[in-house]
Amino acid sequence: MASSWCNKKTSPISVSVLLCFLLLLASSNIRPVFSSETAGSHATNQTFRPQEELRKLEIIREHLDKINKPAVKSIQSPDGDLIDCVLSHLQPAFDHPLLKGQKPLEPPERPKGHDPTGMVTENFQSWSFSGESCPEGTVPIRRTTEQDMLRASSVRRFGRKPRRHVRRDTNSNGHEHAVGYVTGEQYYGAKASINVWAPRVFNQYEFSLSQLWVISGSFGDDLNTIEAGWQVSPELYGDNYPRGGQFDISLLVWKDPKHGNWWLEFGNGVLVGYWPSFLFTHLRDHASMVQFGGEVVNSRPSGFHTSTQMGSGHFAGEGFGKASYFRNLQVVDWDNNLIPLSNLRVLADHPNCYDIQGGINRVWGNYFYYGGPGRNVRCP
């Protein structure tokens, strides 16, 4: 659910940096979901060089020893993942120089108007279905494998999100979007319930995700974003299953008024962790835009638009039961209140491939349906 892409660069702060340092909270009841995204590496016909290959494997294993922390307990997931229960103060985020020797903070005050106890209970990642959980004082972390790293173009690129603009336009280097967004105010968080499906992804170099974005800064080199949601990415995981839960999931991201850190809550009141405020430039204060919706990568296989699906693979107009949706969209104001959106706008880069339709009612508040099949007779 919570995306966690790692990037060694510290300035400018980008999507890749921010999500690497999400500090997970220790609890046997916490079932956070997070994923890492890598840059694509298309197969090429290259001369086999044994010494270079051996050195590459040595570098990979050294890196794995660094990021896979000692586990108190390991849990085998039905989807093939291995989940390590790591002592909270040994999680990879504490390798950061400014966090050395520290421990996770105590949970902050939730935004006013937030009632997680009133939510419908959601299912979580498949590893938790066995009934096993991590011991108190540990956090669950998906173990990174050699295969994960070999799918990246290089060890240096592993875990980094490809550079791209967050602005939703038609010139996004293969990234296509159908989103709802608000702008023009100061935002201190966002909340939504997301309908989760398992969209088909055409090849391993593409992905399909649905998430919320909390954004501040300029759409150039000094952009801060926090992104949380779910995705299907064969390149990352070697399968076509969504990382992020099943059916509906609820997400809440908000800024702690006392310490300034950005926190993530998932599902029925599960507090996942936080992004320390020192990671940010613009988001150290507030966000200037919040976005919700879907994104796919279109690599134009064979010169045609991809058939990678967004959401459920159905267009917005097909409605409940077929189209995927976001509902109960809210933002957090300066006084830590959850409030409805006042000026939701919707935008689809290529509406013949993926579209979006917004609305409002008493039960779902602000909502929208979105998605599509990708390539079709109107999207060649």
Annotated catalytic residues are 227, 295
Q: Which token pair is 296?
A: 């796919």
| 244 Cβ contact partners less than 8 Å away, ≥ 6 residues apart | 1, 33, 35, 125, 196, 229, 230, 231
Q: How far apart (Å, rounded) are the C-alpha atoms in residues 20 and 1?
A: 14
Contact 141, 69 (CB under 8 A): yes
Scored b (16 or more CB within 10 A) or e, 268-286 reads ebbbbbbbbeebbebbbeb
342 three-class SS = coil
Closest Cα partner for 191 from 63, 329, 340, 344? 329
Distances (CA, A) of 255 to 86, 133, 246, 372: 26, 28, 27, 33
d(CA 177, CA 265): 24
Q: Do the beta carbons of residue 208 and residue 298 sit within 8 Å?
A: no
Type of residue numbered 73: K
